Amino acid sequence: MRTDAPSVPAEGVAQATPNRRKAPPRRRSPALRKAFPYLLVAPAVIYLLAITLYPGIFAIYQSLFVVRFVNWTWTGLGNYQAILQDREFWAALGNTAIIGGISLTLQTCIALALAYFAYRDPFIRGWRILYLMPMLFMPSAVAFLWKLAFNDGRVISDMLIGLGLVEANVDWLGNVWLARLTLIVADVWQWTPFLFIIFVAALQGQDQEIEEAARLDGASWPSIFWNISLPMMRPVIVVAVTLRGIDITTMFTNVFVMTQGSPGGATETMSYFIYRQGFRMFNFGYASAASVLMLIMTIIIAQTVVKRAFHSGKK
């Protein structure tokens, strides 16, 4: 691998082309032959290092300072000490887990059920396009859609009143769990299709004969689903849920548009916490320390869960 990793991504791009062109077409020396695959991956790797490793190092460095605009004051591990005692930080971590966990569970169950009912249906193509639609809107637009439906336009309240479930307008931002619920609804609505599409493909790809045999033996559909389809889909479910889980834990847009963390920080996710510390309160050192902690968690999860998920899903 090349060692002159540039700190500016633009250079990575510029280097990409010469690398590829330089390789002589025939009769390469053994050394070049050996280096060839590395030269092919180098531009991509350098680009990614510039955008991950460099910011990582920068964040670690900055996290050791109290940053007030242009004044950087050395504080050592002071930011970390403060953050580990910061109730808002732990609350953000908890909120991310709660909102993400509930949301992910719901969309996985809904997507599984829908996929199981849909995959043999003659109109599967139609269902797929229909169910896909929420996913194809920009997340910021979807956040506004639900902000209007829940809060500003009072449509959901109106419908609940119509159904006789509540008596007056619901103040969705006035209650911790209701505010979280609005974020969960928005996420489930938009991203259940992601899992649905993948699960349908997995079900369609599996061996139909085993299922057919079970059906002829008189097994009921729930038992076929539970004992045959689900175990066969396991590797796919693991990969899909892992990918979705990663995205959910980085949830930002919906929080930014819909709740801004209210009420009382109950819907503040990790991403929003970092954003608020950095770009609202200009506590960049503090935000960087939070970033580093989140990065460590990401690396641990990547090395354990994701590596395994993609190894099992590879075949």
Partner 1 sequence: MAKPRKTRGESLVLRYAVLGTWALICLLPILWFLSIGFRPRTEVITPEPIYFPTFSLDAWHLLVSDWPIAQYLRNSIIAVAGSVVIDLILAIPAAYALSRYEFKGREDIGFYILSTRMMAPAIVAVPIFFLFKTVGLLDSVWALMLIYAAINLSLVTWIIRSYMLDIPKELEDAARTDGASDLRILWEIIIPACLPGIITAAVIAAIFAINEFLFTLLIASTANAYTMSVALANFTGGSDGIIYNAIALVSFIAFVPILILVILIQKHLSRGLTMGAVKG
Q: How far apart are CA 12 and CA 19, in angstroms?
A: 11
144 near partner 1, rule: CB under 8 A:
yes
What is the phi/psi pair of residue 204, to 5°?
-70, -30
Among 25, 76, 122, 164, binds partner 1 (CB under 8 A): 25
Binding mask 197-236 for partner 1 (x = CB under 8 A): xx-xxx-xx------------x-xxxx------------x
- Residues 107-136, mask of contacts with partner 1 (x by CB under 8 A): ---x--xx--xx--x---x-xxxxxxxx-x
Q: Which of 60, 64, 59 is nearest to 79 (CA)?
A: 64
Given 253, 260, 262, 263, the residue binding partner 1 (CB under 8 A): 253
Segment interacting with partner 1, rule: CB under 8 A, options 44-52, 73-81, 100-108, 172-180? 44-52
* By CB under 8 A, residue 72 contacts partner 1: no
Site for partner 1 contains 248 (CB under 8 A): no
Contact residue for partner 1 among 80, 82, 137, 176 (CB under 8 A): 137
Q: How far apart are the first and last CA of the chain?
A: 28
72 forms beta bridges with 67
Stretch that binds partner 1, among 4-12, 68-76, 77-85, 176-184 (CB under 8 A): 4-12
Q: CB nearer to partner 1: give 179 or 272.
A: 272
In the complex, the smallest distance separating the C-beta of residue 302 from partner 1, rounded to whole angstroms, is 5
d(CA 13, CA 19): 11
Token pair for 260: 């801004």
At 205, list the tokens: 């790809």
Q: Find the binder of partner 1 among 250, 260, 262, 263 (CB under 8 A).
A: 250
Per DSSP, helices labelled H in the chain are 9-22, 30-62, 78-84, 87-118, 124-132, 139-147, 155-162, 176-205, 208-216, 221-224, 230-249, 253-254, 270-275, 284-301, 307-313
CA pair distance 301, 188, nearest whole angstrom:
23
Are 263 and 175 in contact by the 8 Å Cβ rule? The answer is yes
Residues 231 and 203 sit within 8 Å (Cβ to Cβ):
no
- Residues 177-196 touching partner 1, rule: CB under 8 A, are 189, 193-194
Give the number of residues in contact with partner 1, rule: CB under 8 A: 112
Task: Decide if residue 66 touches partner 1 (CB under 8 A).
Answer: no
Comparing CA positions, the residue from 259, 280, 296 lying closest to residue 180 is 259
Between 38 and 90, CB nearer to partner 1: 38
Q: Is 291 in the site for partner 1 (CB under 8 A)?
A: yes
Of the candidate spans 71-79, 101-109, 149-157, 174-182, the one that interacts with partner 1 by CB under 8 A turns out to be: 149-157
Nearest distance from C-beta of residue 263 to partner 1, angstroms: 20
